[in-house]
């Protein structure tokens, strides 16, 4: 009996060895790996998830707008709006002058027996900032606004003979919209120039009519006048965002550019 018991003890001890090795092996293959196994998305189970990257957008070119009543030169106002009531213009209300503003001028030139000529000119300035949360640049926002302003001018209620044409040499893109509109029993001739310049949008409207038998202005002349004023407004937006030194000495800037 004693010999049988000793033999049984040795058999049980030997049988236990592979079991322990298997257990140790399983433990080493699993939790013993400090690197961690990648999941289906390829991320380490022991590492933290990557932080979401913030989208980057180009900064807006223009940071401010000029005084809209100074956006068109006094000489141009005098030429386009004879007998103007207020040379300084009438500013529109705005709660954010850095992003939007407007100004208008009007005048009635009495030509006696030849009747009278009425003219109205107004300019609207809009500026858009870049929006990183939406990944949209100020220029892209201005492009959308430009398209909407053109569509708005073309859809003017009661407008007749609506025509559109590209306005060359005005900003980055510009469209002239012309039409006639009957008001106070008179046919007014309209010319609206919508321009995008970088992240800004300039809308300039010029209209007029002849009273008491006076001949109405031509569409061509009104369009030319509107383009002239629009070019000045676009230049005013750029000037408002120049460095102080450039504003004080434009001649020096021109000479420096010529020497490069």
pLDDT of residue 52: 58
Q: How far is CA 134 from CA 55, 56, 129, 148, 183, in A?
A: 8, 10, 12, 20, 43
* pLDDT tens digits, one per residue of 57-111: 889 999 999 999 999 999 999 999 999 999 999 999 999 999 999 999 999 999 8
Identify the sign of the CA torsion 156, 164, 146, 238.
Answer: negative
CA dihedral 123, 198, 98, 78 (to 10 degrees): -30
pLDDT of residue 10: 55
pLDDT of residue 57: 86
pLDDT of residue 197: 98
Look-up: residue for tokens 């510009």? Answer: 174
- pLDDT-derived band at 158, boundaries 50, 70, 90: very high
- pLDDT-derived band at 27, boundaries 50, 70, 90: very low
pTM of the predicted protein model: 0.74
Between residues 8 and 184, the one the model is more confident about: 184
Give the other-Cβ count within 10 Å of 61's Cβ.
18
Cα–Cα distance measured from residue 5 to residue 208, given in angstroms and rounded to the nearest whole number:
124
- pLDDT-derived band at 260, boundaries 50, 70, 90: very low
- pLDDT-derived band at 39, boundaries 50, 70, 90: low
Over residues 133-144, mean pLDDT? 96
- pLDDT-derived band at 50, boundaries 50, 70, 90: low
Over residues 16-31, mean pLDDT? 43
Q: In a 3-state reduction of DSSP, which class is residue 33? A: coil
Domains and CATH numbers, the chain: 68-242 (3.40.1000)
């Amino acid at each position: 009996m004693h010999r049988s018991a000793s033999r049984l003890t040795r058999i049980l001890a030997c049988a236990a060895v592979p079991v322990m090795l298997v257990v140790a092996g399983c433990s080493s293959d699993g939790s013993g790996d400090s690197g961690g196994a990648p999941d289906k998305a390829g991320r380490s189970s022991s590492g933290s998830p990557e932080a979401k990257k913030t989208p980057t957008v180009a900064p807006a070119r223009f940071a401010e707008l000029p005084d809209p009543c100074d956006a068109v030169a006094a000489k141009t106002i005098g030429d386009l709006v004879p007998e103007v009531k207020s040379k300084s213009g009438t500013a529109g209300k705005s709660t954010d002058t850095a992003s939007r503003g407007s100004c208008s001028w009007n005048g009635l030139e009495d030509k006696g027996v030849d009747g009278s000529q009425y003219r109205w000119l107004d300019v609207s300035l809009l500026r858009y900032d870049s929006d990183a949360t939406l990944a949209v640049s100020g220029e892209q926002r201005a492009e959308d606004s430009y398209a909407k302003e053109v569509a708005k001018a073309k859809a003017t209620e009661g407008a007749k003979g609506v025509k559109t044409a590209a306005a060359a040499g005005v900003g980055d893109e510009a469209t002239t919209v012309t039409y006639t509109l009957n008001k106070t029993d008179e046919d007014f001739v309209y010319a609206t120039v919508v321009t995008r310049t970088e992240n800004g949008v300039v809308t300039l409207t010029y209209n007029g009519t002849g009273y008491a038998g006076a001949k109405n202005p031509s569409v061509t002349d009104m369009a030319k006048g509107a383009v002239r004023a629009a070019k000045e407004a676009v230049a005013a937006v750029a000037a408002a965002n120049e460095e102080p030194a450039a504003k004080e000495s434009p001649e020096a800037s021109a000479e420096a550019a010529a020497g490069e």
